[in-house]
Amino acid sequence: MNNNLILTEGKIRKTLVKLALPIMATQFIQMAYNLTDIVWLGRLSTEAVAASGTAGFFMWFGSALIMITQIGLGVNIAQLYGKGDLENTKKYINNGFQLNLSIAIIYSLFLFLFRNQLIGFFNLEDIEVVKMAIEYLTIISIGYTFHFLNPIFSTILNNSGNSVTPFKTNTIGLIANIIIDPILIFGMGPVPPLGVKGAALATIMSQFFVTCVFLFIGFKYDTIYSHIKLLNKPNIKIIKNIVKIGVPPFTQVGIHAIMGMLINKILASFGPIAIAVQSIGSQIESISWMTADGFASAISAFVGQNYGAKKLKRIRDGYIQGIQILGGIGIFTTLLLIFASEELFSIFIPKDPIAIKEGISYLRIIGISQFFMTIEIGTTGAYNGLGKTLPPTINGIVFNALRIPAALILSSTILGLSGVWWSISLSSVFKGIIIFALFTKYWQHYEQLLEK
């Protein structure tokens, strides 16, 4: 099973797109997991959406923890693979899995043991929402290890140039989720209706299926991760190298998640509708950022392999062409969110006119920032491929942190709830402008040093 692309040769745009399309499709599948839950829960009640959205912040922070291994391992794999050093590539993979599993087990235990306190942080007034959120988080925590494993399998294959296998494998999980979700939420035959608990159970069952398929592929075919031996003694030097690269992006996304929790706490004062609107709106917006994130993964792998092969002009040309494509995606999403806001939001909560009205406001305000957000995400991918994860981390942390005072100030004015949405949108605009300027200046300086 060899679907690996050669990223250090051939036409850049064609190579980037060919690598990116399956990764982007895989990201859409991840988005579809959440959208499937929300579509069905929205038909259950607005409160059910608010409950899953509240618990979902801790899954978001979990995704940040995954990035320690996902980015740190991915960058090293791309650069070593570009050099043709397969022996060290396999050593990194083994140690990466050991590190990721350790983090997964610790975080899962943390969620389970402190689930009541974690949901209690939001000071939700609706007792039923609190109860459902705790139930959702309890079930998710039990099977969360599979949610940690699957992105690492995908990252290993993507950074070796094989993005087709992760796409096919994750598609199986999505199909399982689409089938299981309504059965467990509403009940069917001997299966009783489980509501929010059913949505959580469907999610972890689907992730378990995906893990099983990745393992089956590893056993049946000679993949780059077939050699994994989790009981081997960890190589502390390799783990340190992974952590060194992976911690900055984890910090950025982790703080972003924490800022999201604080924003959610502000929203709680506006009632469950505000929380539901943000939960649904962010999933609709993920059309843009998950597409961009998928393409950024391709840029990262492309830059990493060509950096390892010392093909610097190819890196610059690849970045420019990648950003052009991402900018087009951002403009398209802006138009979609602004002009189709009512149609998009009505899909999820068709019978709640107040929620739809607030949802339209959310999508139109957030829509303004989409071009800048895609530029930020794509440039972060280029930085990651070079192993320079600190600049995008600092940029992200500063402007994500500024959302809190901005949200408090703007929401206390005549803007009300819309002020919270403006704080999110404007910070994304500034993040995109600044990171693009920083990378352009960095690369010009880097090329000047090489010429000397």
DSSP string, 173-215: HHHHHHHHHHHHHH-BTTBPP-THHHHHHHHHHHHHHHHHHHH
Confidence check: pLDDT of 393 > 60 = yes
* Identity of the highest mean pLDDT range in 29-33, 62-66, 311-315, 384-388: 62-66
Residues of the chain above pLDDT 90, percent = 29
CA distance 251 to 229: 29
Mean pLDDT of all residues in 267-293? 82
pLDDT of residue 380: 92
What is the pLDDT confidence band of residue 139, given thresholds at 50, 70 and 90? very high
pLDDT of residue 252: 80
Mean pLDDT of all residues in 216-243? 84
Our CA angle for 215, 219, 223, nearest 5°, is: 90
CA distance 446 to 315: 12
pLDDT tens, residue by residue, 24-56 = 777 777 777 777 777 788 777 778 888 887 888
pLDDT of residue 447: 65
pLDDT: is 198 or 252 the higher one?
A: 198
pLDDT of residue 446: 67
Q: Are 446 and 425 in contact (CB under 8 A)?
A: no
Q: Are 195 and 47 in contact (CB under 8 A)?
A: no
Mean pLDDT of all residues in 15-19? 82
Give strand pairing partners of 188.
Answer: 191
pLDDT of residue 448: 65
pLDDT of residue 303: 85
Confidence check: pLDDT of 105 > 90 = yes
Domain boundaries, the chain: 12-451
Residues of the chain above pLDDT 70, percent = 97
CA distance 239 to 92: 8
Query: Residue type for 61, please?
Result: F
Confidence check: pLDDT of 441 > 90 = no
Q: Name which of 102-106, 375-379, 443-447 the model is least confident about.
A: 443-447
Mean residue pLDDT of the chain comes to 86
CA distance 319 to 321: 6
HSE on the CB side for 19, CA within 13 Å?
Answer: 31
User: Which residues are CB-contacts of 214 (< 8 A; sequence separation ≥ 6)?
Assistant: 149, 150, 153, 169
Give strand pairing partners of 191.
Answer: 188
pLDDT tens, residue by residue, 296-324 = 888 888 888 888 778 888 888 888 899 99
Q: Is 96 left (phi over 0), alpha (psi -120 to 50) or beta?
A: alpha
Burial 414-427 (b: 16+ CB within 10 A, else e): ebebbbbbbbbbbb
